[in-house]
Chains A and B, each alone.
Chain A
Amino acid sequence: MTLRRLGFASAVVMISAWVLLPIMLIALAAFSPRDVLYQWPRPLWPSTFTLDTFLFFAGSSGVLAATWNSVVVAGLTIALSFAIAAPTGYALARYRFAGRDAANLAILGTKMFPATVLSIPLAVTFLRWGLYDTLLGVAIVHTALSIPFVVVIVTSIFAGVAFELEEAAMTLGCSRAQAFLRIALPMALPGLAAAGIFTFVLSWNEVFASTILTLDNRTLPALVLSSVSGAGAPLHYRFAGGFFMVIPALVIIFLIRRYLLSLWGVTVR
């Protein structure tokens, strides 16, 4: 028994280390002075830490504004894609109707087309419609990119929620919408949280569309990736920029992590 628990514990430790090590590397490197990064043999723990690179990076033009832009775009994307895709997911899970399979495949099919090739047609269209260089425009594209995933995740979640529960609620006097809101939705929360995380990160890290569709109102990845890694910026900038970009994602995932596990002790069946 103890051997098994030891094995379990060591598995936990090893997996955590595997995940964390590269993250710690960027964190350490982002705060190391530039000479240390180029030293060989490389000291694995820098002798001094410095905020200089990080501050230079955070203070350089447009970074803070870009961060806020990214947050706004991600938030809009989540709101839009949930509003549009969640009902679809519910329909695909609950109803059996003609064309259901075709709808499933069609929605997924849009995701199978790489986004890089869409940039020019999209940019031209947006210029014509006055959506160019707006956060709403970027959010619209990000929503289009994330809808297929949200639909698929939400479908599988609602497929796992027993319909009998909603039915029971309806026999007790709730309307169908109320049964959905009070019974099915809370149970689907972990799934929605998962879809939310996924959508946020997809929007946050998306580079192509946001680069083409914005000039002034840039999102953070567009700014960082083009000036930091794209143009061959020195190592310390890359790490600082990379770390700076990862932080918000870390924060969001931290905030949402509880919703992934149902803490309400919902009794099923």
Chain B
Amino acid sequence: MRPPVAERETVAPEALRLPPRRDLAPYWLLLPTALYLGVFFVYPMSQAVWLAVSDPRSGQLTLEHFQRMSDDVHFRDAIRNTLLITAIAVPVQIALGLAIALMVNTCFRGHTMFLYLCAIPIGISDLAAGLIWLSIFIERGYLNAALGALGAIQQPVTWLSFERRDWLVSAIVVTEIWRATAIVMIILVAGMQLIARDYVETAQVFGASRWRTLLEVFLPLLRPSLQTALIIRTILAFQCFATVIIMSGRLVPVMAGESYFWYSLYRNANVASAYAVLILLFSGSITYFYLRALRQRELDVPR
């Protein structure tokens, strides 16, 4: 049941000294969540997953829907674009969110206001963000208006053009970064509150430079929050499609967008569910990878 002290992992080192008869407590605490999600999520989800693998008429198991999904002209592009956008946007969001959180943490004058300002994009849905940035990037949009007013360009530039696919992807990435960095920042700021000043001060007393303190003392202590932010952002990035659809239509297909189109445009819930299952598999494997990678390093950090 409970392995001896020396072998325990260090994720929650404090959870050491509980008497054995308390073992049932975590299960009781977990029960509400398990029940709730079981009824209101897992049940409809299993119905949807069943749609992905069953023939609607005969009710037998079939791979037909996955085949249709992979035969579609948009399939490969959808996977590539989703991975591309996630791979570019998420690291930038983490880095930027971290930078802002660190700035807030120095408690400069006006840091609460700064925190509030940077948190505002959280309140903006991905649909709204897409519409806002669309009105910035279109030919007769605000970006060209500003550039024209500054005299930087003579004719408006068509930023969103079917001839320049990479510009389209960049526009989407910019919108995503603008919108989603805020949640990373919020999670990190909350996590930073718990890091004792003592650690930082101690390191400085021992003569460590600011950078070293940051890298070797502060960031490792922030690991749970960083991990949380990374996982949440990646899962959400895999599902975002409103922004992509608004800025690029179907020229930049993404997995969640394809799921949506198969569902609402083609009215084929089976293939839509197949895409949903694919998203589940991708998100799941990447999260698992994160958890393992980040856990390994944690064992190496002396506590």
Binding site for B on A (CB under 8 A): 8, 11-12, 15-16, 18-20, 22-23, 25-26, 29, 40-42, 44, 83-85, 87-88, 90-98, 100, 103-105, 107-114, 116-118, 120-122, 125, 140-141, 143-145, 147-149, 151-153, 155-157, 159-164, 167, 187, 190-191, 193-194, 197-198, 201, 204-205, 207, 221, 225, 229, 235, 238-239, 242, 245-246, 248-250, 252-254, 257-258, 260-262, 268-269
The reply to whether B25 and A91 form a contact with Cβ atoms under 8 Å apart is: yes
Cβ-defined partner of A42 (8 Å) among B40, B45, B145, B263? B145
Contact code string B77-103 (vs A, CB < 8 Å = 1, else 0)? 000000000000000000000001001
The reply to whether A16 and B190 form a contact with Cβ atoms under 8 Å apart is: no
In B220-268, the 8 Å CB interface with A consists of 221, 224-225, 227-228, 231-232, 235, 238-239, 256, 259-260, 263-264
| Docked complex Cα distance between A11 and B102 (Å) | 12
**Contact of A108 with B14 at beta-carbon distance under 8 Å, contacts A85-B33, A160-B194 already known:** no
Interface secondary structure of B, over-half rule: helix
The reply to whether A242 and B194 form a contact with Cβ atoms under 8 Å apart is: no
Number of A-B contacts (CB under 8 A): 286
Contacts of A84 in B (CB 8 A): 32-33, 36
Query: What are 13 A-B pairs at a CB distance below 8 A?
Result: A16-B114, A22-B178, A26-B132, A95-B18, A113-B48, A114-B279, A117-B276, A144-B40, A147-B36, A153-B190, A191-B191, A248-B123, A254-B116
7 new A-B contacts, CB < 8 A, other than A25-B142, A250-B123, are A95-B12, A95-B18, A117-B269, A152-B232, A190-B189, A190-B190, A229-B131
The reply to whether B259 and A269 form a contact with Cβ atoms under 8 Å apart is: no
Shortest CB-to-CB span from A232 to chain B, Å, is 12
Contacts of A97 in B (CB 8 A): 23, 26-27
Closest-by-CB residue of B relative to A88 is: B33
Closest-by-CB residue of A relative to B287 is: A108
Which of B14, B43, B47, B189 has the most A CB atoms < 10 Å from its CB? B14
**Contact of A19 with B118 at beta-carbon distance under 8 Å, contacts A160-B195, A207-B125 already known:** yes
The reply to whether A111 and B235 form a contact with Cβ atoms under 8 Å apart is: yes
**Contact of A207 with B37 at beta-carbon distance under 8 Å, contacts A42-B142, A112-B280 already known:** no
Shortest CB-to-CB span from A120 to chain B, Å, is 7
Contacts of B76 in A (CB 8 A): none
The reply to whether A159 and B33 form a contact with Cβ atoms under 8 Å apart is: no
**Contact of A225 with B280 at beta-carbon distance under 8 Å, contacts A15-B118, A95-B26 already known:** no
Closest-by-CB residue of A relative to B264 is: A116
| Docked complex Cα distance between A90 and B28 (Å) | 12
The reply to whether B131 and A238 form a contact with Cβ atoms under 8 Å apart is: yes
Cβ-defined partner of A8 (8 Å) among B108, B115, B120, B283? B108
In B144-199, the 8 Å CB interface with A consists of 145-146, 148-149, 178, 182-183, 186-187, 189-191, 193-196, 198
| Docked complex Cα distance between A157 and B269 (Å) | 39
| Docked complex Cα distance between A11 and B227 (Å) | 26
Contacts of B121 in A (CB 8 A): 19, 23
| Docked complex Cα distance between A91 and B28 (Å) | 9
Cβ-defined partner of B36 (8 Å) among A91, A144, A249? A144
The reply to whether B190 and A157 form a contact with Cβ atoms under 8 Å apart is: yes
Closest-by-CB residue of B relative to A228 is: B131
| Docked complex Cα distance between A98 and B129 (Å) | 43
Cβ-defined partner of A93 (8 Å) among B12, B23, B27, B129? B12
User: Is B206's CB within 8 Å of the partner chain A?
Assistant: no
| Docked complex Cα distance between A98 and B33 (Å) | 17
The reply to whether B280 and A194 form a contact with Cβ atoms under 8 Å apart is: no
The reply to whether A107 and B189 form a contact with Cβ atoms under 8 Å apart is: no
User: Is B6's CB within 8 Å of the partner chain A?
Assistant: no
The reply to whether B123 and A253 form a contact with Cβ atoms under 8 Å apart is: yes
| Docked complex Cα distance between A17 and B117 (Å) | 9
Shortest CB-to-CB span from A78 to chain B, Å, is 15
Contacts of A88 in B (CB 8 A): 29-30, 32-33
Contacts of A94 in B (CB 8 A): 12, 14-15, 26
Shortest CB-to-CB span from A244 to chain B, Å, is 11
**Contact of A117 with B122 at beta-carbon distance under 8 Å, contacts A41-B145, A94-B12, A163-B14 already known:** no
Contacts of B273 in A (CB 8 A): 117
The reply to whether A107 and B33 form a contact with Cβ atoms under 8 Å apart is: yes
The reply to whether B33 and A162 form a contact with Cβ atoms under 8 Å apart is: no
